[in-house]
Structure 1
């Protein structure tokens, strides 16, 4: 493993095999997957449905474990952590952004963003200050007391991103973050992710079916038969 990928936010996937049992049949998603993502990268991942894109995010984020191989995040071998250690690592290092937002409908925008902070040692005042800072960052401070049903799709996704940022993770894993949005709202969300990457140094792995979304990433990878092939390096406009 090269030095670059032992740094704190580098991701290294080596020889990963992953499959699932469907009925009596064993279906293999990845046979021998190898991938390295340096710190501060913004990678778009494309591929047909069922190619394993979401499985990849789950493996990187420690939601799922490989059947074989290693997944490292900096100096931490994620796949070998105990469940409790994995939960602590995930809660402090990783933020997840979902296509359908996964917001709690009975909670306000501010309360949704605060949820991950309830597991930290921050007191109520500190949590409130952190929430307001993040909602300012995503341009939703004036909507902090609104329920998800009172927000547009783009606004709900901004809340989702704010929630992902609550614990100040170094890695953002985005699963079709613009799949439920119109073009204008999608581009606003993608622009926000680009700012988080360029100005705040967040490492981002984004699964997408949207060719336009790839233009906001630094590079695009395509899943093909259990392996990654780099399609192109796409530099977004300054």
Structure 2
């Protein structure tokens, strides 16, 4: 299961059925769950934990020291859930002691070729980062987030659950849940209706989210006024998620 040209540190903890391809390097303090397949020329540095059925393609770098100049070699971590796919040339960096000390990634995510996840990012589950998407440090992505190719996200930004960014978007502010954005700088272009319908959102939820979006983006209200009106009108959990994603915004929301 481990190619004779691969270098696996004796302190690494690999499940019995993990496959490791030619010329890959796996360091100490690396844990890889069952059913995982590590391709050729992959470098994994610890402390890093990879869940079950992780698939990593050639030339990816996982768990490397971050690029923050303040980083001084502290034993920070990268922790990933199950069923993640990491394509060619992807770079995933560990955290820093200035923040959480950990980069955290959920399950069933797809990182397309040459995507980059910076230090201390928190990524949910079922996300898609298309080719060459770049996340700066401290970015948070909600579940089912989709970022189009060549998109870039500024440090400390929040990108909400079920939100979507078109290719080449430059994202410098927080993106509320369910919203679709695009451009440089990115601007809101309505709800991610296609994605929400595919995931089985009810007509009632879609209608309420559409009206909530209009209150925030189309009625000339301040954010505070819009949120107060949304709370008065709607009690659906989907709307509560939309409101909460705006309330936690620390960089202002993409308008």
TM score, norm. by length of structure 1: 0.24
| Bigger Cα Rg | 2
Give the alignment's TM-score, normalised by structure 2: 0.23
